[in-house]
Chains A and B, each alone.
Chain A
Amino acid sequence: MPSAPCFLLFASPRMSLTAVDLTIIVLYFCLVLGLGAYLRRFTNTGDEFFMAGREMTAWIAGLSFISANLGSLEMMGYAAATYQYGILVAHAYWIGAIPAILFLALVMMPFYYICKTHSVPGYLKLRYGEGARSLSAISFAVMTILMSGINMYSMAIIMKVILGWDIHFSIWVSSLTVALYVMAGGLLSAIFNEVLQFFLIWIGCLVIPVVGLIETGGWAGMIHRIQTNFPGQDFIHMWRTTSSFTGNPMGVHWTGIVFGWGLAISFGYWTTDFLVVQRVMAAKNLRSAKLGTVIGAFFKMIVPVIVILPGLLALAVLPFHLVPESQAGLPNVHTYNEALPLMLARYCGPGLLGLGVTALVAGFMSGMAGNVTAFTTVWTYDIYKPFIRKAATDAHYVSVGRWCSLIGVFISIGTAYLVMNFSSIIVYAQVIFVFFIVPMFGTVILGMLWKRTTPAAGFWGLLAGILTSFGLWAWIKIDPGALQYVAFSSHAKDMAENVYRAMWSLLVNVVVTFAVSLVTRPKPEHELKGLVYGLTEVPAEGDFPFFRRPITWAIVVAVGFIALNIIFW
């Protein structure tokens, strides 16, 4: 067990990197740039640059799918949120992800894959027409750029806290590296780097839970320390405290978790956010696309080990209490967002610190490359091609894509400073996300499953959902008392408010889409083949043994998901 004076060594979180740490970081940058340069020669056509040639295996598509989601925002934000709200945050990884990812794999992926579209807005064009496509493409482009800025801010904090590096230096060096390898190899380069980053993130961050649990004497020891440090607060139950709004640190009721988080936010993100869906759409066949998605679900289920557990360990072992971002700048205080970097600095000596910093930089890069490649594809195929230059050569669109990667990075650098005014990074991400992505789920799923949904309904339903989300957010900003109507409780915290706003947004989207469909003319059935359930012939997966079928592994993941919820009830 550690002696007490060890803690004092970390009164200041800033640490100096040794030559070994710097070598590890520089090697990583060299490899990602080298990989981009190597893959440049394999991305000459539009399909190769924007869809990685549609030849990824299930493992590569699956690891890339989950890595694009595992940005530094994800890692730092959820570790910070865990420090703030406790293990409740793990709902984001379990009920807030697993059902939706499995639904994407088994139900929605065939439609995305069969219609051979380049993007989710591209599917909306085929299903509903230009109106819904334009609205979703523009809103998605805005969202990805803003999210990219959040990722940059996260990474700059890491560098500031751990190393004392200048924020601008960190942002520019990492961003331009991403721009260079995405410009060179497009989605192919992004996917390959994401697989590499996946390994680095896990190996670099796993040190914290392993050493942390040894320090606390295991899970029971950690719980005991948390209860000693924060008496009277329940940070360690996922469902038991959610029968009332005031029984848990987040101020959320189980209905919000199930319908807001588990349905609206989760299905919105995992089934219609093109950033992640693009990775599995690049698989070499439908079986690989489905299996890759299930592989992604498995790894998503165990991500809490490197994100939630460090947050809990911070509650248990840090000798001081972290404070909200609004109190940043006060002397001798550290904010929630510094939870993960502080834990890294606590346990990692020379070499391992370089690896940990590389893991966080890799997280930043994978998240940013995900945003940049998705933005590039949507801009080129769903905005530039239909509205600016309809008939050009394939080589021209590839060239536009390459330049768009660079321009996208520059615009997102400009948005990085917007995040300073919000109390927690992840809350800001959810604000944007609920505006744009949640309503899209209702539009896509009704279009896939109900042939009566009309083009007009697709557009107006999506618009109504976006306006509802924005309107509710503005209402609470103007009149904080509105919180009790939107989130059913005046005790709701930021994250709980987002959860309920997502629920309302999806509800309005579905009701408007349904109502408008009843009074407008649907598309003829022959135009819906390959796009709608009941009118689409899904190709057979082939004669594979049961252990190579996506459905088998989907059941395994589903059983694991149920077991985890019971264990941590």
Chain B
Amino acid sequence: MEQRSISVWFFIGLLLTIYGLLILATGVHELLVPPITQVAMAHLHIGIWWGAGMLIFGLVYLIRFRPKRNVTN
């Protein structure tokens, strides 16, 4: 089989980083400009915590598994 140069973990890191950024930014926006209708437990601002966690997790994977030569899986 031809050698793959991009690890699947890199793709996971990429997606989680982007998602983390989007969710974190949305959470911060909701904190500054509260929406009219809110979900249950909105005062926890779970989006900020969740987005930040995903961003950190994604960045770790993104850096740890960045494309190198002769990497499989």
| A positions within 8 Å CB-CB of B | 2, 6-7, 9-10, 18, 20, 23-24, 27-28, 31, 35, 38-39, 41-42, 45, 48, 53, 55-57, 60, 192, 195-196, 199-200, 203, 207, 210-211, 214-215, 317, 345-352, 355
Beta-carbon nearest neighbor of B54 in chain A: A203
Residue from the set A41, A60, A196 with the largest chain B CB neighbour count within 10 Å: A196
Contact A211 B22 (CB under 8 A): no
Question: Would you list 29 pairs from A and B whose C-beta atoms are within 8 A, ordered by A residue?
Answer: A6-B39, A6-B41, A7-B40, A10-B40, A20-B22, A20-B23, A24-B23, A28-B15, A31-B14, A35-B8, A38-B6, A39-B4, A45-B1, A53-B1, A57-B73, A192-B8, A203-B16, A203-B50, A203-B54, A211-B40, A214-B44, A215-B40, A348-B39, A349-B26, A349-B30, A349-B38, A351-B23, A351-B26, A355-B50
Cβ-defined partner of B16 (8 Å) among A7, A39, A56, A199? A199
Given the known interface contacts A349-B30, A349-B47, the answer about A215 and B41 at a Cβ–Cβ threshold of 8 Å is yes
Measured CA separation A347–B39 after assembly (Å): 5
Beta-carbon nearest neighbor of B14 in chain A: A31
- Residues from chain B with Cβ under 8 Å of A38 in the complex: 6
- Residues from chain B with Cβ under 8 Å of A45 in the complex: 1
Contact A347 B6 (CB under 8 A): no
- DSSP majority for the A interface? helix
Measured CA separation A196–B10 after assembly (Å): 10
B46 CB to nearest A CB, Å: 6
Measured CA separation A206–B50 after assembly (Å): 10
- Residues from chain B with Cβ under 8 Å of A199 in the complex: 12, 16
Interface residues of B in 1-33 (CB under 8 A from A): 1-2, 4, 6, 8, 11-12, 14-16, 18-19, 22-23, 26-27, 30
Measured CA separation A347–B18 after assembly (Å): 22
The 4 closest A-B pairs by CB, nearest first: A351-B26, A351-B23, A53-B1, A192-B8
Measured CA separation A10–B38 after assembly (Å): 10
Given the known interface contacts A24-B22, A28-B15, A60-B8, the answer about A214 and B39 at a Cβ–Cβ threshold of 8 Å is no
Besides A28-B15, A211-B41, A351-B27, 8 new A-B residue pairs in contact (Cβ under 8 A), listed by A number = A20-B26, A42-B2, A53-B1, A199-B16, A347-B40, A349-B38, A350-B30, A352-B47
Determine the interface band of chain B, counting residues with CB < 8 A from chain A.
Answer: 20 to 34
Cβ-defined partner of B8 (8 Å) among A9, A24, A196, A355? A196
**Interface assignment of B37: CB less than 8 Å from any CB of chain A:** yes
Contact A352 B37 (CB under 8 A): no
Contact B46 A6 (CB under 8 A): no
- Residues from chain A with Cβ under 8 Å of B4 in the complex: 39, 42
Contact B72 A55 (CB under 8 A): yes
Measured CA separation A407–B50 after assembly (Å): 40
Measured CA separation A104–B11 after assembly (Å): 30
- Residues from chain A with Cβ under 8 Å of B63 in the complex: none
A387 CB to nearest B CB, Å: 29
B57 CB to nearest A CB, Å: 8
- Residues from chain A with Cβ under 8 Å of B16 in the complex: 199, 203
A341 CB to nearest B CB, Å: 14
